[in-house]
């Protein structure tokens, strides 16, 4: 990595790496509502791995580019342009690597340059950083602007005698620069699918082998359209109830019973982000800079409280429609367009102590569920 990288940038990457590692630790806690062995945890884990891979790529990238920007005043994550650049570079990585000398050859050149020139080989180091970046981006999946849906669970609702799927997908919102994870529970009333997957006694047909996860919606006739729908209906500006209602209208055979959206962020890092002046002021007083951060996320949920049956008339047919529950008694839930929501905050023990000592913990966290990292343990609901 370039030695000219400012200390604040190094601190930012150290902080966000620590925050994502902390979230991973939290997902491993059995008492966590997002425990990785639950369906929600199962969905989040691979997307977290993608986000960690993106951060590793960005950290390598700063070794050979002049500018790297983060959304300092809003999400605390890299700006959306950085997300797009990763996606573009991922597609051209193999071709670019072919034009860069091997790592061992670059190291030899660097040593030779130092011995002959008595100076630091900045140009060669930048080439090495670019090679490491391209190798890293080719190792695995990153958090792309849009991540195609996958079917991760299949079962049967014995009451309706329909199969239902749990489908997940991801999106990095361009306007708010926030990574988001979606998961939906959807019943399918397509006649061919019902005939194939549901037995007469209302069970999943054991003779049908379904190698989960399945890329896309399990129904092959609707999979391509569903991908297109998800790509056009994953913006942060759309409320969960709007997305669920659009899905219900666009696919007469699909019946969304539940939609969850997990919004990761904002992320706060002392001396870097400006999204909350008071939080950043207190975090800046934390003794160890690697503990001067705060990661928040929100879990939003909308569910169907009833399904209005289809109506078949002489002149027209009205398909079945879901009635989604919105908690109008809760102003925040109504604003979000959800049945329920949870706000979470993950914070190192040192940072929590600083907020508590300043008398700001109650005001900062408000209705957040707080999870404090202390060593290799996470203490929740402090």
Peptide bond into 213 cis (omega under 30): yes
Residue whose tokens read 């929501």: 341
Domain boundaries, given as residue ranges, for the chain:
54-139, 146-381
Percent share of the chain, pLDDT over 70:
96
Q: What confidence category does residue 382 fall into, taking pLDDT thresholds of 50, 70 and 90?
A: low
Measure the CA–CA gap between 336 and 106, rounded to whole angstroms: 52
Which residue carries 């960005």 as its tokens?
58
Which SS3 state, helix, strand or coil, does residue 102 take?
coil
What is the average per-residue pLDDT within 246-269?
96
Six token digits for residue 194:
């019902």
Residue 273 pLDDT class (50, 70, 90 cuts): confident
pLDDT tier, 314 (very low <50, low <70, confident <90, very high otherwise): low
Indicate the angle between helix axes 80-97 and 122-137, nearest 10 degrees. 100
Please list, residue by residue across 98-108, b when 16 or more beta carbons sit within 10 angstroms of its beta carbon and e when fewer do.
eeeeeeeebee
Least confident of 121-125, 151-155, 236-240: 121-125
C-alpha neighbours within 13 Å on the C-beta side of residue 309: 4
For the entire predicted model, the pTM comes to 0.92
Cα separations (Å) of 127 from 56, 157, 181? Answer: 17, 56, 35
Q: Which two tokens stand for residue 86?
A: 């990763």
Distance CA 286, CA 82 (A): 29
pLDDT digits 0-9 by tens, 80-113: 999 999 999 988 888 899 999 898 988 998 988 8
Bond before 266 cis per omega within 30 degrees: yes
State how far the Cα of 42 lies from the Cα of 44, in Å rounded to an integer. Answer: 6
Is the pLDDT at 292 greater than 50? The verdict is yes
- Tell me how far apart the alpha carbons of residues 365 and 296 are, in angstroms, rounded to a whole number: 10
Of 288, 299, 331, 147, give the one whose Cα is nearest residue 227.
Answer: 147
Name the DSSP letter for residue 340: E
């Amino acid at each position: 990595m370039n030695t000219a990288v400012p200390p604040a940038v190094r601190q930012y990457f150290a902080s966000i790496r620590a925050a994502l590692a902390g979230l991973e630790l939290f997902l491993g806690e059995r008492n966590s509502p997002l425990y990785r062995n639950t369906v929600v945890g199962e969905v989040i884990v691979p997307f977290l791995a993608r986000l960690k891979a993106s951060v590793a790529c960005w950290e390598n990238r700063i070794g050979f580019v002049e500018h790297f920007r983060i959304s300092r005043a809003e999400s605390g994550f890299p700006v959306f342009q950085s997300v797009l650049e990763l996606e573009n570079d991922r597609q051209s990585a193999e071709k670019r690597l072919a034009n860069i000398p091997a790592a061992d050859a670059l190291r030899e050149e660097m040593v030779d340059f130092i011995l002959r020139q008595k100076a630091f080989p900045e140009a060669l180091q930048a080439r090495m950083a670019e090679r490491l970046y391209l190798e890293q981006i080719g190792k695995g999946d990153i958090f792309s602007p849009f991540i195609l849906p996958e079917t991760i669970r299949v079962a049967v609702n014995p009451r309706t005698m329909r199969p239902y799927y749990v489908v997940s997908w991801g999106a990095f919102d361009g306007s708010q620069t926030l990574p988001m994870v979606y998961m939906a529970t959807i019943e399918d009333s397509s006649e061919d699918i019902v005939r194939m997957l549901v037995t007469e006694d209302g069970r999943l047909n054991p003779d049908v082998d379904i190698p989960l996860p399945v890329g896309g919606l399990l129904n092959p006739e609707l999979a391509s359209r569903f991908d297109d729908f998800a790509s056009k209906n994953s913006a942060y500006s759309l409320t969960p109830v709007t997305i669920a209602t659009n899905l219900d209208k666009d696919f007469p055979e699909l019946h969304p019973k539940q939609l969850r959206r997990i919004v990761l962020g904002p992320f706060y890092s002392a001396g870097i982000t400006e999204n909350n002046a008071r939080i950043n002021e207190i975090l800046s007083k934390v003794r160890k800079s690697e503990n001067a951060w705060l990661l928040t996320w929100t879990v939003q949920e909308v569910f169907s409280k009833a399904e209005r049956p289809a109506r078949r008339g002489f002149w027209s047919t009205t398909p079945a429609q879901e009635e989604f529950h919105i908690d109008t008694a809760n102003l925040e839930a109504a604003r979000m367009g959800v049945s329920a929501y949870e706000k979470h905050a993950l914070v190192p023990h040192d940072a929590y102590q600083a907020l508590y000592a300043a008398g700001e913990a109650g005001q900062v966290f408000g209705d957040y569920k707080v999870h404090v990292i202390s060593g290799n343990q996470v203490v929740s609901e402090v």
